[in-house]
Amino acid sequence: MSFGNNNKNKRFMSDINVTPLVDVMLVLLIIFMVAAPMMTEGVDVNLPKTTAKNIKTQDEPLILTVNKKGEIYLENHAVSLEGLEIKIQKIFQNRREKEILLRADKDVSYGVVIDVIARVKKAGIDKLGMVTEPPLD
């Protein structure tokens, strides 16, 4: 009669239980899917309506925005009109495709938009596209 541990019948479990891991990952995925759209912040612009077709681009173009107050934004970063040319030159210094999309509020002065376009062209940008919204039918 033996009262000690019987090591012959006991074995260590070497399988990993992945069910809790999958549950945690699914919850995190759902949290990030819900939270991600709330984290995007942009500049409000009232774009003019047009019937032009969308432009297909290879790379993600830089977005230049002029809002109703005449403030200029490169992506979501405010830029002064005087510093615009230098910023654009530095950004496109190592890029092969020099393309910018301009989003200008329809209530912005024509002169401001033309001044921005002139500075973009002076910075050496080959392609400048204008962003509009399709008309509501």
Closest to 114 in 3D by CA, of 126, 127, 130: 130
**Tokens read off for 110:** 């024509």
Kindly report the number of other CB atoms within 10 A of residue 85's CB atom. 18
Whether 72 is covered by a domain: the verdict is: yes
Domain that holds residue 80: 62-130
CATH number assigned to the domain comprising residue 75: 3.30.420.270
Q: Which positions ≥6 away from 72 have C-beta within 8 Å?
A: 64, 65, 66, 78, 79, 80, 81, 84, 116
The number of domains in the chain is 1
Whether 13 is covered by a domain: the verdict is: no
Whether 115 is covered by a domain: the verdict is: yes
Whether 113 is covered by a domain: the verdict is: yes
What residues form DSSP beta bridges with 79? 72
Q: Per-residue pLDDT for the chain (137 aa), expressed as one digit of tens each?
A: 555 555 566 777 777 788 888 999 999 999 888 888 776 656 566 666 666 555 555 567 788 999 888 899 988 889 998 888 999 888 888 877 788 889 888 888 888 888 999 999 998 887 888 887 776 65
Whether 38 is covered by a domain: the verdict is: no
Q: Report pTM.
A: 0.57
Whether 69 is covered by a domain: the verdict is: yes
